[in-house]
Structure formats: C-alpha cells, structure tokens
C-alpha cells in the first residue's frame, strides 16, 4: 500500500512561481453549493421528513447507475395499476425505458417508477433495496426509501439537505441531466404519441433554473427541488412542506446569487510545496464564498511517498475542517 505525506499549508504561505426565519418543525429547506455540496443556508435542514415524489430523483439515478439496459420493457399489472400520478401505462404493453425516465421526471408517473423498478431490480422490493444501498454508498445516512415513487410511508423519509445532495449527485450523470432539464418530450409508445411538459414551472420559465423535481402528498405537503446556474455559480434549493415553494425557490436563488461569489482560492501555476518539491496546478481552484468566509478556508496537499521524481498529489480545500473539493497537483522532486 502506498503511503502519503500530508502537508497542511495556507495559500498565502505558498510562493507562486510565475436569512430566512426558521421554519416550523414540520417543514424545512436547504440551499447547497452544487459543486461542493456545502450547505450555504437552511432551516431544519437535517430533520427527516416525507419528500413525496422527490424520491424519483433517486429512482432515476439508481437505475442509471445500475447500468440496466435502456431498451424495451414490458409493463406489468402492478406497474399499470400503481396508485397516484400516472402516464397511463397499460398492462402488457412494450415501453421504451428511456421514455419512461422522461415520464418519471417530467410527469412524475408512479406507474413509470414501478415499471423502471421492476426493469432494473427484478422487483419493486429488490430495486428499493438497491436505492437504499446506493444512498448509503453516497453517504446519505438520514435517508430511507420504502418504494420508488414517494407514496407515503412512515419510514420513507429524507432531509432537505440530503435531498439536495441527491440532486447534486444525480446531475453529475449526463443522462439524468438531459432528462431532468427537458422542458418538453414527445413519447411514441404502441402506436400512440404522448406530449409531455415538465411539471417544474421554474424549469419552464426561469432562465437560471436548469433542472429539478416536484412532489406532493397529503402527508408531505408540497416538495420541490431546483438546480440553478448563474454566471458559473451552481446551487440547489430544496423545500419540504412549503405551500409557496415556487416563490420561495426564486427568492432563495436570488438571495444566494447576490450574496455569494465564485472566488479563486488557488491560482493555476507552480508552487513551492517543500524544500526540493514543487507542484503545478493545471487549473485554478474556485469556491463559492460570501464576504468574510475566506478566513475559514485551509488547504492540505497530499504527497505520495514514491521513488519517482514525478507524481500526482491532491490539493484539498477545507472550509471549517470540512473538505470542499480536491484538485490534482503535479509534483516534481528537484
């Protein structure tokens, strides 16, 4: 096993060569930096609550991560008769899996959720287990699923913060990003044509809203997740049980974009790391910060212990002892 040397350094020491009010206990919200996952602000953001159809973010992501084929699947009786919102699948029909993903994310079809679960997991129960395993793999410790659609169950819960992380991880998947950001989609199935419009109003109307998911059950209330991008700033807003969620998301996005700037915390170039060791960053490191937060940053460079004169290390930026992101640094021993 290779060992590493950990060097704690501050950029300033390197020599460069060349509010919102707290929500009620039954509701919560969170805003995170979509690049790093850092919580920027929130209220009750770590309280487990019902998330309704925001569940389908993880359903789609789990299917895509499972590498299940996107070909054709046959709709079962259980899928066709799934309770709740529907894209009107019929028992025995052949359906295109990619199209079902659009029906899942744009129209929130519970029948699509069950059909996809059976396709990728062999059964709804098996796929739900896979959703939970995937959640644990990604560090979502306060999230638990009992079904792939978001129908209410006392144990089917997540937090506003972890739901925002779900969307963050999912948006790193190219196919998920393509599906969830679509405004309209035309689906051909069994000789019939369906025209679907994204239920997420902001994705249709707000120039900075890239993707997202809506949700509602009587137990959960209105739930909403939105991925915003503006001037290379990327944030995710999640609200759980907010009856005014469209306006809340617009307001939180505007406040966050006005308050936070994308700051360069390490320029690209060559750095003297230790006597006899130099490092080169090929790209600058940018972090979303508000005024005064740069004081809470620290930097760690990890140097592999090797006989070679050249190696690849890792430059990690920390905010208050929490790692934000890591960039490769090319190291040379002089």
Catalytic positions are 53, 56, 108
Rounded Cα gap, residues 302 and 322, in angstroms: 16
Q: Residue 135 in 3-state DSSP?
A: helix
Do the bridges between strand 39-43 and strand 72-74 make them parallel or antiparallel, or are there none, so unpaired? unpaired
Beta strand spans in the chain (E): 4-9, 16-17, 28-33, 39-43, 72-74, 94-96, 184-189, 192-197, 209-217, 221-230, 233-240, 260-266, 269-274, 277-281, 285-290, 297-304, 310-319, 322-333
Q: Which residues of 218-242 are buried (b: 16+ CB within 10 A; e: fewer)?
A: eebbbbbbbbbbeeebbbbbbbbbb
Could you tell me if 274 and 22 are in contact, meaning their C-beta atoms sit under 8 angstroms apart?
no
Query: CA neighbours within 13 Å on the CB side: how many for 17?
Result: 9
Place of tokens 């084929």: 69
């Amino acid at each position: 096993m290779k060992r590493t040397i950990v060097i704690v350094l501050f950029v300033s020491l390197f020599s460069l060569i060349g509010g919102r009010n707290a929500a009620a206990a039954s509701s919560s919200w969170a805003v995170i930096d979509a690049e790093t996952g850092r919580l920027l602000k929130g209220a009750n953001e770590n309280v487990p609550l019902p998330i309704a159809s925001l569940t389908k973010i993880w359903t789609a992501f789990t299917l895509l991560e499972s590498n299940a084929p996107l070909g054709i699947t046959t709709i079962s009786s259980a899928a066709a008769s799934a309770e709740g919102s529907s894209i009107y699948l019929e028992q025995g029909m052949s359906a295109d899996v990619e199209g079902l993903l659009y029906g899942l994310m744009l129209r929130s079809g519970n029948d699509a959720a069950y059909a996809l679960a059976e396709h990728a997991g062999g059964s709804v129960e098996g796929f739900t287990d896979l959703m939970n395993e995937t959640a644990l793999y990604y560090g979502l410790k306060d999230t638990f699923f009992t079904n792939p659609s978001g129908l209410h169950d006392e144990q089917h819960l997540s937090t506003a913060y972890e739901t925002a992380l779900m969307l963050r991880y999912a948006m790193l998947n190219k196919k998920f990003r393509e599906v969830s950001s679509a405004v309209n989609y035309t689906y051909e199935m069994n000789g019939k044509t369906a025209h679907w419009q994204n239920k997420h109003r902001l994705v249709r109307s707000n120039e900075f809203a890239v993707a997202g998911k809506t949700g509602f059950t009587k137990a959960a209330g209105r739930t909403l997740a939105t991925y915003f991008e503006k001037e290379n700033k990327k944030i995710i807003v999640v609200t759980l049980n907010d009856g005014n969620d469209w306006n809340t998301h617009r307001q939180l996005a505007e406040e966050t974009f006005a308050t936070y700037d994308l700051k360069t915390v390490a320029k690209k170039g060559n750095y003297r790391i230790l006597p006899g060791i130099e490092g080169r960053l090929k790209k600058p490191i940018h972090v979303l910060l508000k005024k005064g937060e740069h004081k809470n940053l620290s930097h760690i460079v990890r140097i592999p212990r090797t006989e070679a004169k050249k190696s690849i290390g890792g430059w990690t930026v920390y905010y208050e002892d929490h790692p934000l992101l890591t960039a490769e640094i090319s190291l040379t021993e002089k």
